[in-house]
Amino acid sequence: MKRKKKERQEELITLIEDTPFITDEDLAKKFGVSIQTIRLDRLELSIPELRERIKDVAQKQWDETVKALPLDEVIGEVINLELDQSAISLLDISEEHVFSRNQIARGHHLFAQANSLAVAVIDDELALTANSEIRFTRPVKLHERVIAKAYVKGDDDKGRTIVEVSSYVDQELVFDGKFHMFRSTEQ
């Protein structure tokens, strides 16, 4: 049964509040309307598109849990975070990340992704990289997606937290590093 526009929009608001990750396609099927109709309803109701809703939810969760680094200062998009345990981020290599003459990513972007993830995974108000040991295993090219995985491994002999980060493109290792992290509180 087709609903009137006002009823559909009221239900749309409730449904998106309850399930913010629902796609426009799923909404269109649920309400028996076109995707364009859903998009127009969202626009009229000032409801952001799925990607923005995901970012909003992630920002709220981030603000409630992460202490050492604001979300907008992490290089890449954090998709999983368990403080003092592990974290995962994605970085899509675009024109701004590569050398123009050969389309290979500049190493400092890969390092920045790994280093910022190592800082973010620390459950402390202050986390700084004391030193790191890094290795690039193959060049990363334009349009490749780098997935960085960070794991907290414990403390070194100076009481600094060790975070190991490995970065992959299509499951092939492209970068790895061991970060010794200074934190303001002792473990």
Amino acid 65: pLDDT: 56
Whole-number average pLDDT of the chain? 87
Average pLDDT on 50-54 reads 70
Is 59 within a domain? no
Is 61 within a domain? no
Amino acid 77: pLDDT: 85
**Packing angle between helix 35-45 and helix 5-18, nearest 10 degrees?**
80
CA nearest neighbour of 85 among 164, 13, 143, 28: 164
Is 58 within a domain? no
Are 132 and 179 spatial neighbours (Cβ–Cβ below 8 Å)? yes
**58 pLDDT exceeds 70?**
no
Report residue 68: phi and psi, to 5°.
-85, -20
Looking only at the bridges linking them, the beta strands covering 77-82 and 86-92 are antiparallel
**54 pLDDT exceeds 70?**
no
**Helix or strand (DSSP H, E) at 135:** strand 127-136
> Do residues 46 and 132 share a domain?
no
The Cα 150–Cα 167 span in angstroms is: 9
Q: How confident is the model at residue 72 (pLDDT cuts 50, 70, 90)?
A: low
Looking only at the bridges linking them, the beta strands covering 172-183 and 161-169 are antiparallel
Amino acid 180: pLDDT: 97
> Do residues 111 and 150 share a domain?
yes
Q: What is the CATH number of the domain that holds 32?
A: 1.10.10.10
**49 pLDDT exceeds 70?**
yes
CA nearest neighbour of 167 among 113, 104, 93: 113
> Do residues 42 and 105 share a domain?
no
Q: Which residue range is the domain that position 30 belongs to?
A: 5-53
* In the chain, % of residues over pLDDT 90: 52
Q: What's the domain count of the chain?
A: 2
Amino acid 1: pLDDT: 59
Q: pLDDT by residue (tens digit) across 73-116?
A: 778 988 778 889 998 899 999 999 999 999 999 999 999 999 99
Q: pLDDT by residue (tens digit) across 104-156?
A: 999 999 999 999 999 989 988 888 999 999 999 999 999 999 999 999 999 99
> Do residues 75 and 37 share a domain?
no
Give the pTM.
0.65
Looking only at the bridges linking them, the beta strands covering 127-136 and 172-183 are antiparallel
Report residue 41: phi and psi, to 5°.
-60, -45
